[in-house]
Amino acid sequence: MNSELIDVVVTGREEQADGVAVFELSRKDGDLLPAFEAGAHVDVHVSPEIIRQYSLSNAPGHGTSYRLGILKDPASRGGSIAIHENFNVGHELQISEPRNHFPLNMSGESSILVGGGIGVTPMLTMAYALKAEGKSFEFHYCCRSRSSAGFLAELQSEFAEQLHLHFDDEGDEQRFNPEQVFGAYAEGKHVYVCGPTGFMDWVISTAEETCSYPKDNVHFEYFNAEVDNHGSAFEVVAEQSGVTVMVEDGQSITEALATVGIKVDVSCEQGVCGTCLCDVLEGTPDHKDHFLTDEEKEDNDQIVVCCSRSKTDRLVLDI
């Protein structure tokens, strides 16, 4: 999962809404940054110990800057708080090249983009891409209040025709009703959603179960997730290292492996980014991540070891 790191500098910072700051990053050497597609994110090396994933939010393509919208999360495990405290203009850091686990299907007939809170950021890149191609789309932005809605002025000026705003503290008539918005599935319709976990679960289940959209037409990216490491203890064999360790109730596989000196690269530690993905040689994983697709989970030949567990007493990993 490693890609070459890029040395960048913060060249712009703007406080846009309650707790939301927008950062512009440019290469230290002034060159163009690698091109990116709608839905892409970068790994931000906040400090040597903290790596976090953030979606890009500017118009996709090739340019001299990337733009990130970052919410200062009171429940932060250190990432967003450190960014808000330290990432001022002139601050130097490293980021990965853009990666895309949330691509836009440009052959779709129509797209419904749904951003919940700061989950609006990947939707912005998608809206820019769809608009540039003259594609049909709706953009639904759901927030607690207007004062918490980042990028509001930009959305209203760039996507006036497609934008629908939904605020928790305003009238019932403007509340987001996914069943009504999605309607019955028709071929070529696609839904894209990013936002808090509970909000996404609601949107995804409405699209798939209530409105009968095929799974392939419902696209999503989780940016954080609850991790529950509880469950029966099991044995993990690290085949390459020749080491066996017990993973106890309340412990992750990565934590158990660390106790015997095996370090697995991790980043989000929430089953979202895929950094800790390992091949499974024997045993059946109990998948708890939001990274692998349903099909990949059914194959049972890979596991996200920061959060998943085992359905069998023994799991042999190719590490």
46 binds ligand FES (CB under 6 A): no
Q: How far is the CB of 43 from ligand FES (least distance, A)?
A: 10
Is there binding between residue 165 and ligand FES (CB under 6 A)? no
What is the smallest separation between the CB atom of 145 and ligand FES, expressed in angstroms?
A: 31
Q: For residues 217 and 302, which CB has a smaller minimum distance to ligand FES in the complex?
A: 302
* 123 or 276: CB nearest ligand FES: 276
Residue 306 touches ligand FES, criterion: CB under 6 A? yes
Closer residue to ligand FES (CB): 20 or 292:
292
Residue closest to 118 by CA, chosen among 79, 170, 92, 173: 79
Does residue 9 belong to the site contacting ligand FES (CB under 6 A)? no
**CB 268 → ligand FES: shortest distance, Å?**
4
- Judged by CB under 6 A, does residue 111 bind ligand FES? no
Residue 79 binding ligand FES, by CB under 6 A: no
Let me know: does 64 contact 37? Beta carbons within 8 Å: no
Residue (141 or 291) nearer to ligand FES, CB: 291
Give the type of residue at 69.
G
Q: Which of 250, 239, 276, 291 is CA-nearest to residue 41?
A: 291
Both tokens assigned to 134? 């003259």
CB burial of 159-190 (b: ≥16 within 10 Å; e: otherwise) equals: beebbbbbbeeeeeeeebebeebbeebeeebb
Side chain identity, residue 96: S
Question: How crowded is residue 116: how many other Cβ atoms within 10 Å of its Cβ?
Answer: 24
Q: Which residue is nearest to ligand FES (CB)?
A: 306
Name the residue nearer to ligand FES (CB basis): 258 or 266.
266
Interacting positions 265-304 with ligand FES (CB under 6 A): 266-269, 271-276, 289, 291, 304
* Burial (CB count <10 Å: 0-12, 13-18, 19+), residue 82: middle
Q: Shortest gap between Cβ of 93 and ligand FES (angstroms)?
A: 19
How many chain residues are in contact with ligand FES, going by CB under 6 A? 14
List the alpha helices (DSSP H) in 114-175: 120-132, 152-158
Smallest separation, CB 231 to ligand FES (Å): 17
Contact call for residue 96 and ligand FES (CB under 6 A): no
CA distance 131 to 83: 31
Nearer to ligand FES by Cβ, of 155 and 306: the residue is 306
DSSP-derived letter for residue 79 is H
Minimum CB–partner distance for residue 54 and ligand FES (Å): 13
Four-residue CA torsion sign, 208, 124, 163, 144: positive
Give the x-and-dash track for 227-266 against ligand FES (CB under 6 A). Answer: ---------------------------------------x
Q: Measured between alpha carbons, how far is residue 74 from residues 79, 109, 139, 279 in Å?
A: 11, 39, 27, 35
Residues at the site binding ligand FES, with contacts judged by CB under 6 A: 266-269, 271-276, 289, 291, 304, 306
